[in-house]
Amino acid sequence: MSTAVRSRAVRRRWWWFLWSLLVVPAIGITAYFVTPYVSGSSTVPIDMSIPGYYVSLAVHAVPAGLALLIGPWQFVPRLRARFPRAHRMLGRVYLVSVVVAAAAATYSTVVTPSGFALQVAFAMLVVAWLYSAAQAYRTIRRGAVRLHRIWMIRNYALTFAAVTLRLYLLLGVQLMNVIPSLPYKDVYTASAWASLLGNVLVAEYFIIHRTTSPRHSGLGRVSKAACSRSRRPGARLGRRPRICGGRPQTCASHGLATQIRTRAL
């Protein structure tokens, strides 16, 4: 086996290992924390005296759990290539779930009794969640596949904060056994900030070192068949040019020096 083949095999195993680190906790957290809301209960104590607090948490948890489960499958290249219609359909369901979950989280953030610091963390999460979802939708609508993937990585990193928050909280509870004077409220607030900032940093590291590296710079390029179709005599004008990274895509990857130029609508 050559070094290049061995290197690709190692990268592939690492990719599936990291992917499983998304799927397994996502399923576990959804099953344990989201399922009780469907039956009208909860695994965590909730102040029922606050009007609408439980309802907002339930409305947030169910679509957020759905987005948490859908997200990892959207990143599998083989599934995207083999089932493009399913990928688009699940993508729409994912984005709608994020919008509904974020809207419900807005109310629960305002009325939460856990303090101002936690409210700020959740407010930042909601704003970043909605903004990255809007950017992901906008970029795919204009054909910027590579930018769409980048924004979806950022968005799912924020969705996955539901998992890391509870992992940090579990560690914090264990720390409370060592430091009895440590209040649960402070542990919860620190866990929320750690999940938000930590996930953002991990996502940006992945984007910089994987998605935008020279090895992966071909993401979103126009295929050779698409280039050939665009150069046929009498090809219909008036379509927007294919976009990659915000610029018209060229066919340099096939040894063609001519840029695809079409008249903008």
- Name the residue with higher pLDDT: 8 or 33: 33
Question: Looking at 8-22, 32-46, 249-263, which range is the least confident one?
Answer: 249-263
Judge contact between 99 and 89, C-beta under 8 A: no
CA distance 26 to 165: 12
Judge contact between 246 and 139, C-beta under 8 A: no
Q: What is the DSSP string of 71-90?
A: HHHHT-HHHHHH-HHHHHHH
Give the pLDDT confidence of 100-123 residue by residue, as tens digits.
999 999 999 999 888 899 999 999
Asked if the model's pLDDT at residue 25 lies above 80, the reply is yes
Asked if the model's pLDDT at residue 193 lies above 80, the reply is yes
- Name the residue with higher pLDDT: 2 or 182: 182
Asked if the model's pLDDT at residue 210 lies above 80, the reply is no
C-alpha distances out from residue 155 to 148, 180, 229, 257, Å: 10, 36, 34, 36
Asked if the model's pLDDT at residue 229 lies above 90, the reply is no
Q: Give me the pLDDT at residue 38, please.
A: 80
Percent over 90 (pLDDT), the chain: 55
> How large is the average pLDDT for residues 213-226?
46
Q: Give me the pLDDT at residue 142, please.
A: 94
- What's the token pair of residue 255? 């040894």
Q: Give me the pLDDT at residue 247, please.
A: 43
Q: Give me the pLDDT at residue 261, please.
A: 36
Question: Looking at 9-13, 80-84, 102-106, which range is the least confident one?
Answer: 9-13
Cα torsion 99, 101, 107, 112: sign: negative
Judge contact between 121 and 196, C-beta under 8 A: yes
